[in-house]
Structures are given as C-alpha cells and as structure tokens.
Amino acid sequence: MPLMGLVAADQVSFSRDVLPILSENCFYCHGPDEDHRKAGLRLDVETSALALVDGEAAVKPGKPKESLLIKRVFSKNPDEIMPPPDSLKELSPEEQQILQQWIAAGG
C-alpha cells in the first residue's frame, strides 16, 4: 500500500522535498556549519551531497541501494543508522521513501 503524501518519483525535488528532511534531521552534523560538520559530508547543497567523501558517494544518482545515505538511513545497526539515536531524531517511513525516490530519480 503506498504511503500517503508521497510525490511521484519523477517529481521529487531536492529543494521542495529533500532539503526540508535533511535540514530538520541532518544539518547539525552535515550542514553549512563547518565547525559541526562530521565525516566531511555536507548535505545542505545538492552538489555537495553528490560528491565523494572518503572515496564513497553519499548519493549515487539512480542507485539508492548503493548510496551511503540510504544504507545509513535504513540501517538497523545503532552504530550506523542516521540520524544517530543520540540525536533524538528519526526519519519517518515517508521521509525515508522520499530520499530513496529522489536518488532513484537521479539525485
């Protein structure tokens, strides 16, 4: 059964759909503030989200299952899941799906 409120995969927009999710859940550690940025990963700018970090792309356009972002967001391992448990933030299934749709549509 499809989740309510999802947008069509080919209509997912970084600015409209993805950026608000990342802003709310990821920017403290992966946003514009270089002093707080972890793992050299910046997600507030689409081109940075698509860049290689330590030789691996957080986002591999068209390949959500190969994208580190998706692996971490869907992980069940508390040492790998993002956002981490101590952040007290958790992506909803709808938010996870939007991220996956965005990457599947080409990032």
pLDDT tens string 30-39: 999 999 999 9
The predicted structure's pLDDT at residue 2: 42
Asked if residue 1 is part of any domain, the answer here is no
The residues facing 57 across adjacent strands are: 52
Asked if residue 50 is part of any domain, the answer here is yes
Give the structural domain span for 71.
10-104
The residues facing 56 across adjacent strands are: 53
Cα Rg, the chain, nearest whole Å? 13
Distance CA 80, CA 75 (A): 6
Q: What burial class does residue 22 get, using C-beta atoms within 10 Å of its C-beta: 0-12 exposed, 13-18 middle, 19+ buried?
A: buried
Domain count, the chain: 1
Instruction: Record the pTM.
Output: 0.85
pLDDT at 6 over 60: no
